Chains A and B, each alone.
Chain A
Amino acid sequence: QQPVQSPQAVILREGEDAVINCSSSKALYSVHWYRQKHGEAPVFLMILLKGGEQKGHEKISASFNEKKQQSSLYLTASQLSYSGTYFCGLIQGGSEKLVFGKGTKLTVNP
């Protein structure tokens, strides 16, 4: 049931772009994205719902492919502050439980 995230880690230079993927083997109802900086609690970035509704931060973009049971998080023109570990969490049909992937560690260097 745990979603699979890829890549596991990525290193960028400031200003570069990155895509983080999250996939599931089961039908999805919604996908959540969170970012956790070292030693801190995870912070909400975005929710994508089946049917196309989204809510989240304006500077973050993501997609949700219901047919492929995948979501992707797009980080463009990365800033140093984007560094952290990104987690996707999935709500599968019939459940209220949010199950997180293992995370993608993003490092943005000057």
Chain B
Amino acid sequence: GAGVSQSPSNKVTEKGKDVELRCDPISGHTALYWYRQRLGQGLEFLIYFQGNSAPDKSGLPSDRFSAERTGESVSTLTIQRTQQEDSAVYLCASSLAGQGGLYEQYFGPGTRLTVT
């Protein structure tokens, strides 16, 4: 079946502009995660959605970052007033229900964001 897809694959934007990144999880996966990966760095947790529960937003670096998810489908990550330090690859992952990490995460190809 289809894997996790993300769009756009690349985004170049000017400092101060808003950007919206999209993630389509694997059908039936109730858990969805967003991560940020700066060049040569690790995976930085941003936000986690699980079904209809309130999302875990503890990783969002500032109030310029927000994310939404419609039911158990598409999610969008929005970055307002982008800054150069926002330049990174943004990865989305999905998995079956959480339950303490019983299920593996499937990652999308990522969106490479460059802020000029």
Answer yes or no: B56 CB below 8 A from chain A CBs: yes
Segment from B15-23, B61-69, B71-79, B106-114 that makes contact with A: B106-114
B3 (CB) vs chain A CBs: closest residue: A41
Among residues 1 to 56 in chain A, which have CB atoms less than 8 Å away from a CB atom of chain B? 29-30, 32, 34, 40-44, 47, 49, 55
Chain B, interface SS category = loop
User: How many A-B pairs fall under 8 Å by CB?
Assistant: 67
Supposing A96-B98, A98-B33 touch, asked if A44 and B43 sit within 8 A by C-beta, the answer is no
- Tell me if B106 and A44 are in contact (CB < 8 A): yes
State the main secondary structure of chain A at its contact with B.
strand
| Residues of chain A whose beta carbon lies under 8 Å from any beta carbon of chain B | 29-30, 32, 34, 40-44, 47, 49, 55, 87, 89, 91, 93, 95-103
Closest 10 CB pairs of A and B: A91-B101, A96-B98, A41-B107, A30-B101, A44-B104, A100-B43, A102-B42, A29-B100, A103-B42, A42-B107
